[in-house]
Every structure is written in structure tokens, then in C-alpha cells.
Chain A
């Protein structure tokens, strides 16, 4: 098992190198002179020359890449051209907000997706099954930025129940510690802040959870149907066990294995979807930051965030694979 884990982990090294080459080449996709594009039309030739030199654009391309790789490995993701701050610093400062949002979304998706999938499979072809299948297809087809606006309008403006932007009310007092607002507030025992933070979290989390929820419900249903047709389930039923126990104790565990892989794949989608959701809800995470960077042509941020998210995505899929191997002893390690 350890050997398998090491071998599997080593396979991501070439992929990560490839990813770094692609992200490195982003700058060279900019039409014309990248330095000029970053500084705008009114830049002086001296300033352009200075930026060209600072970015190393005056060197041969393979040298540029080696320098880039060397910096990235040391955690240097370049400097934001607009704000002058190191990209890595802002990235880490903003990441907790995105993680908080994405985690809430995935929890919502699991909490509702799995039961919907089970109900759908157990009462196959009933009206509940049809409704949940159609609903799952609607969910997969949902433009989440549209859903986000609709939720903000309906629950925030029409009904006035929930806030439609930011992580906390401006009046709420909060001292950042880990930058995970809910966690910080829980650790401090300040229930007012927890409540306020959760109220702000709910709408963006629902919007972001929609697609993973639909995917998880579909996968749970398909995998549950497969498991329920197995011999050992019939044996369990024949023994006279109550249906609930057969479904939850005998079938569910095995049915959830493929769902795990799907959840791993959804993490990447969530991080990309955060760009859209955070823009709608003014959520100060990586997504909103990238959106603003695109507007101000702050290419270093787009590059840094893309690399960061790709590395997370690849790592999460690796971890899912390894967990899968731990959970299912039938998988051969060769």
C-alpha cells in the first residue's frame, strides 16, 4: 500500500511540471508586448523597459521558464502590477474565505445529494425518482451566476431575510485570526458573530452547491441501483432484516465509493465556480480577486491563482484516489 501510494504520488510530478509550463506560457499568449499590455498605452518607454527586465522578458524563453519555476517552487508567484504586493501573500490571505465557501457548498451538496440519490434508487421509477432525476438535470444545467442573482434578489431584496454580500455585517466586530470567520467566531465563543457569518454564507453556498448536489444525487442513485441488485443484498433481505437496515448498513457503504471520486472532481469545479459566485455576492475570496484582476489586466494574479487552483485540484484528486484504495481493499496495487 505504501509503495502504491508513493508511486501514485510520483505520477503527479510530471503533470505539475506540465501545468507550470502552461501557466508560464500564459504571459506569452498576451498579444503584442506583455509589458506594454500590463502598463497600458500611456506608459513611458523607460517604464516598459524596466518592467520587461523585471519580468525577465528580455531573456531567452527557456531561461525565463527556469527562473519562473525556481521562483514558484519557493512560493514566489510574482508581484501584482496594480497593487505592488506579492501575489502569494494576497493569495494566502484570501484563500480562507474561498475555502469556507467551498466547504459549506460541498457539505450542503453531500447533505442533500446523498439522501436524494438514495430515495431515488430505493423507490425507483416512483414520482419521487422522476422528480429528483429531472431536478438533478436542471441543477447540472444551471448557470450558477444566474441562480446567485435570483437568490440574492428573492431572499435578500424581496423577502429581506438574508444579506446579499460580504462575509459579515459592517457593524459586526470581528478580529481575524485564521481568517475562517465561522471557525474564529466559534473558537472565541462569540455566537452573534457565528450567526451573522452563517447568514452571509448561506446564499452563496446554496448557489455554489447546486451543480455538485445534482452530480452527487445522480451518482448516488446510479451506484445505489447497482449495489441493490447484488446477491448479498438479496441475502440480507431474505434473512428478514428491516429494509432501512439493509439500505443503510449493507448497501450504502459500498454505494458511496464511486460518489467519493465524484466529490473529488467537484472540488476543482467549486474553486472555478467561486469566481462567478464570489463576484455576485462580493465574497472577498480568490474568485472575486481574480475577477478584479482580469478587469485591471493584472496578469500575475491570474497566473498565480490558476497555478494555485490547478495544484490543489491535482492534489485533491490524488488524495481521493488514495482514499479510494484504502476504502476498497479489492483495488490491486500494481
Chain B
């Protein structure tokens, strides 16, 4: 008993002094003002997305008041009203859930499918790898915005279809990153050791390779959400995404942008600013995460 205690003690001491990699990364993240700003913006939008429907019930179908058409910002309507007399602040706040939800869901689907495809491609044999890489190359041969637009134009407009299209065009980048990470990791000693000990392919992939391929995937996820929100807004703007009267930022811009000739700037300013700010938040956070998670990828 006494001997085991003397062995345990120094290890426990060492653990107390050093930090887990995750904690160290978190500390590095919070030490950067850029990342803090990003984190703050993202948290704010997530709070609005979750909180707006709880705090205030909004029914887009019945919300219109033609007496209040195109009123400039005032104390009562801080962001003004749109062409149907709807309060723009209310619609921007409730639109957060639609736009953010779309971005996050699309990336969730794409990251799972893309990482899986990439892991298999990197670990399975040469033929499978060639075939998967070829399919990804075809998707990457299109500018992604164009591909998303073309697909939704074919399968029909709507929230669900634009979600599908954005997920599809986001898959290749995950596939590439995951595949690259596997190719790099699978030659390492500890993976060989795991295989030599009789670990099956799936176990080696999931227990030994995947966790180490995670940092670049986390960074990519943050940046991909930014991109997906932008893409969703573009589809909404072209009339291919959420359909009116759903309060989606891109669709709100589509409804209102023609008013620029009459000088009613508030109808398009606020929905667009919401898109820009939320996308900026995720981009700032992604930049900060890259510095914090993988010192090798530091931009400076």
C-alpha cells in the first residue's frame, strides 16, 4: 500500500500543475481580443435565437399594419417598419433563429457526413480513396454558391431544400480536411501500435485517429457556419430560401432592397447588418480558435 501511494503522489502533483490540452486551448482563446469579440458576438446571437421566441410570441402570418408602412426608426420602432408596416427589430430578432438555425444545422449535417467520408477515404484502400476523392473534386469544380443556387433552383425553393443544398456544398471541404489528417496520422507510431495490438479499423479510426484530427475540424466548423449563414442569406435574397412571410434575413432583404431608390434605408440596413455581424462573429471566433487549438496553423 505504502509503495503505491508514493508512486501515485508525484503524478497527482504533476496533474495539478499542468493543464489539460482543452483547458490550455481555452485559456489561449480567451487571451486574444479578436477571439473574445467573436465569442461575445456568437453568444449574443445564440441568446437571441433561443430567447426571442420564449420572450415574445411572433406570428409572421398576421403581422402587418399598412397604416405604419415604411416608418423610419423611432422610439416605438427602433429599426423602423417595412413595406407592410411590420416592426423590423422584431423580425430581425425572430429571424435570428431561422438564419442561425439554418447555418448550424447545415454545418452539422455536412461536418458529420464530410468527416466520415474523409476518414473512410483516408483509411480505406486506394480504390475507395480514388473514387471518393473524384466525387469531391467534382463538387469542388463548381463555385459553391453557384452549385447551391443551381440545386435549389432545380429541386424547388424553400427552407428545407436550401438546407440540403448548403449541406451538400459544404461536404467536400470536410472530406478534404479529414482525409488529409488521416493520411498524416495513420503513419504515426502510436497508430501502428494500436493496429499491431489487433485494433480493428473502425476502432483505430474512431479512438485513435479521429480525436487527433479534431482540431482542424473544429476550426473549420466555426468558419463553415459563417459561410453557411452567408450562403443561406444569399439563397433567401434570390427568393430560393425561406419564403415570405417567414422572417429570414436574406428574404427580408429581397423584399426591401428595391426601396433604396426612395431613401428608406432602414428596411434593408438592419437585416443586412444582422447577417454581416453574425457572420463576422463566427469568422472572428474561427480565427481565434485556429490560433488557440493548433499553434502550427498560427497566422502570425
Query: Interface of A with B (CB < 8 Å)?
Result: 14-16, 18-19, 21-23, 26-27, 29-31, 124, 134, 137-138, 140-143, 145-147, 149-150, 152-153, 156-158, 164, 218, 222, 225, 268-269, 271-273, 275-276, 279-280, 290-291, 293-295, 299, 302-303, 306, 309-310, 313-314
Query: Is the pair B141, A276 in contact by a Cβ cutoff of 8 Å?
Result: no
Cβ of B214 < 8 Å from any Cβ of A? no
Of the residues B141, B154, B238, B276, contact of A142 by C-beta under 8 Å: B276
Considering the chains assembled together, what is the distance between the CA atoms of A27 and B151 in angstroms?
10
Q: Which residues of A contact B134 (CB under 8 A)?
A: 14-15, 18
What residues of chain A lie closer than 8 Å to B238, measured between beta carbons?
Answer: 275-276, 279, 291, 294
Closest B residue to A120 using CB positions:
B300
Q: Annotate B277-300 by CB proximity to A: 1 below 8 A, 0 otherwise.
A: 001100110010000000000011
With a CB–CB cut-off of 8 A, which chain A residues contact B144? 272
A162: min CB distance to chain B, Å: 13
Evaluate contact between A140 and B283: CB separation under 8 angstroms.
yes
Contacts of B300 in A (CB 8 A): 124, 222, 225
CA distance A273 to B143 in the complex (A): 9
**In the complex, residue of chain A having the shortest beta-carbon distance to the beta carbon of B280:** A141
B33 nearest in chain A by CB position: A130
* Contact of B146 with A309 in the complex, beta carbons under 8 Å: yes
Scan B152-167; emit 1 where CB is below 8 A from any A CB, else 0: 0111100000000000
Closest 4 pairs (CB-CB, A-B): A146-B272, A18-B138, A268-B143, A272-B143
Nearest chain-A residue to B156 (Cβ)? Answer: A31
Instruction: Say which residue of A22, A137, A314 sits within 8 Å of B283 (CB atoms).
Output: A137
B280 touches A27 (CB 8 A): no
Which of B1-9, B182-190, B258-266 lies at the interface?
B258-266
Cα separation A178 to B217 with both chains bound (whole Å): 47
Q: Which of A16, A143, A271, A279 contacts B275 (CB 8 A)?
A: A143
**Quick check: is B269 within 8 A (CB to CB) of the other chain?**
yes
Q: A164 to chain B: which residues have CB within 8 Å?
A: 260-261
Q: Which of B135, B145, B250, B275 contacts A272 (CB 8 A)?
A: B145
A149 vs B267: C-alpha distance when bound (angstroms): 11
Find chain A residues with CB under 8 A from B58 CB: none
List, in ascending order, chain B residues with CB within 8 A of A18's CB: 134-135, 137-138, 141
Interface of B is mostly: helix
Measured between beta carbons, the chain A residues less than 8 angstroms from B247 are none
* Additional A-B contacts beyond A18-B134, A276-B238, A302-B153 (17; CB < 8 A): A14-B134, A19-B141, A26-B154, A143-B237, A143-B253, A143-B275, A146-B273, A149-B253, A149-B257, A149-B268, A150-B265, A157-B260, A268-B142, A268-B143, A293-B153, A302-B154, A309-B146
Contact A146 B260 (CB under 8 A): no
Interface assignment of B181: CB less than 8 Å from any CB of chain A = no
CB distance from B33 to the nearest CB of A (A): 9
In the complex, 10 of the A-B residue pairs with CB atoms within 8 angstroms, ordered by the A residue number, are A137-B284, A143-B233, A143-B276, A145-B253, A146-B271, A147-B272, A150-B268, A157-B261, A157-B263, A268-B143
- A15 B141 Cβ-Cβ under 8 A: yes
Identify which of residues 158-199 in chain B touch chain A, using a CB-to-CB cut-off of 8 Å.
none
- Decide yes or no whether B228 CB sits under 8 A from chain A: no
Cβ–Cβ < 8 Å partners of B279 in chain A: 141, 143
The residue on B at minimum CB distance from A147 is B272
Chain A positions within 8 Å of B142 at CB level: 19, 22, 268, 306, 309-310, 313
B39 within 8 A of partner (CB)? no
Are B138 and A26 in contact (CB-based, < 8 A)? no
- Min CB distance A113 to B, Å, is 16
A23 to B146, CA, bound (A): 12
Check A15/B137 contact, CB under 8 A, given A146-B275, A309-B142: yes
Q: Which residue of B lies closest to A29 (CB)?
A: B154
Question: Does the CB pair A153–B263 fall under 8 Å?
Answer: yes
Min distance, Cβ A319 to any Cβ of chain B, angstroms: 15
Q: What residues of B have a CB within 8 angstroms of the CB of A23 in the complex?
A: 150
A141 contacts B283, C-beta separation under 8 Å: yes
From the candidates B146, B150, B253, name the one contacting A146 in the complex (CB within 8 A): B253
A293 to chain B, nearest CB (A): 8
Known: A31-B156, A313-B142. Is A294-B149 also a contact (CB below 8 A)? yes
Whether A150 contacts B272 in the complex (CB less than 8 A), given A137-B284, A141-B226, A306-B150, comes out as yes
CB A156 to nearest CB in B, in angstroms, measures: 8
Measured in the bound complex, the distance between the Cα atoms of B153 and A157 in whole Å is: 32
Please indicate the chain B residues that have their CB under 8 angstroms from the CB of A225 in the complex. Answer: 300
CA distance A271 to B143 in the complex (A): 8
Task: Tell me which residues from 101 to 117 in chain B have a Cβ below 8 Å from any Cβ of chain A.
Answer: none
Interface pair B145/A269, CB less than 8 Å apart: yes
Whether B155 lies near A30 (C-beta < 8 A) is yes
A137-B280, A157-B260, A269-B143 given as contacts; is B237 within 8 A of A276 (CB)? yes
Q: Which residues does chain B contribute within 8 Å of A29, judged by CB atoms?
A: 151, 154-155
- Asked if A306 contacts B147 (CB within 8 A), the reply is yes
Complex CA–CA separation, A219 to B104 (angstroms): 27
Q: Which of A31, A124, A310 has the most CB of B within 10 A?
A: A310
Closest chain A CB from B102 CB (angstroms): 14
* Alpha-carbon distance A163/B261, docked complex (angstroms): 11
Which B-chain residue is minimally distant from A151 (CB atoms)?
Answer: B260
- Taken together as a complex, chains A and B put the C-alpha atoms of A141 and B225 apart, in Å, by 11
**Contact between chains at B145 and A138 (CB < 8 Å):** no
Chain B 21-50 near chain A by CB (<8 Å), digits 1 or 0: 000000000000010000000000000000
